Amino acid sequence: MVIGDSISAAYGMDLEQGWVALWTNSLDDSTEVINASISGETTSGGLTRLPNLLDRHQPILVVIELGGNDGLRGYPLPRMRANLEQMIQLSIEAGAQVAMVPMQIPPNYGPAYTRQFSAVYGELAEQYNIVLTPFFLADVALQSNLMQSDGIHPTADAQPIMLDALREALTHALERAKDKPL
């Protein structure tokens, strides 16, 4: 199950063109991927929705791709971190492995906030021994031909590049989830 924001909800394109659908199509038929991503989602919204999603879908893997909207809105980092931490804990308690997709924010928020924002993901991944993927917009975000006119959302052409950045880490996370004793 992927719980994310507009980047994972395939904003501005058909859902089938997004990285989550491309990933799903690359997996064997026995693996179902639920895309529980919503455009505009924050860590607070994700945390609110997560218990119901865990109950309903009982995933073996939860991929968390949240925080970008928190950062763009200048939300307090301790609150963002606490929300992500609770999401990790809830997922683990529900028996799921967790992978986290780190986000980055533009430098205009100041070097301290930007640095501390980015550090949250690595710190939580280490603390909970979860899979931390690479930043999947690294090869996309600064290429105007791969970004929509808003400069925030990737195009359909960017989605395979984003998936390629995630594939190894997600494969590892999925293998961990499938190997986990019941």
Chain-centre distance for alpha carbon 61: 12
Chain-centre distance for alpha carbon 100: 6
H or E element at residue 116: helix 111-128
Verify whether residue 29 is a known catalytic residue: no
Residue 138, CB-side half-sphere exposure with 13 Å CA sphere? 10
Verify whether residue 6 is a known catalytic residue: yes
Verify whether residue 118 is a known catalytic residue: no
**Catalytic: which of 5, 37, 91, 153?**
153
**Catalytic: which of 14, 55, 150, 179?**
150
**Catalytic: which of 5, 6, 8, 70?**
6
Supply φ then ψ for residue 72, to 5 degrees: -65, -25
User: Which residues are part of the catalytic machinery?
Assistant: 6, 150, 153
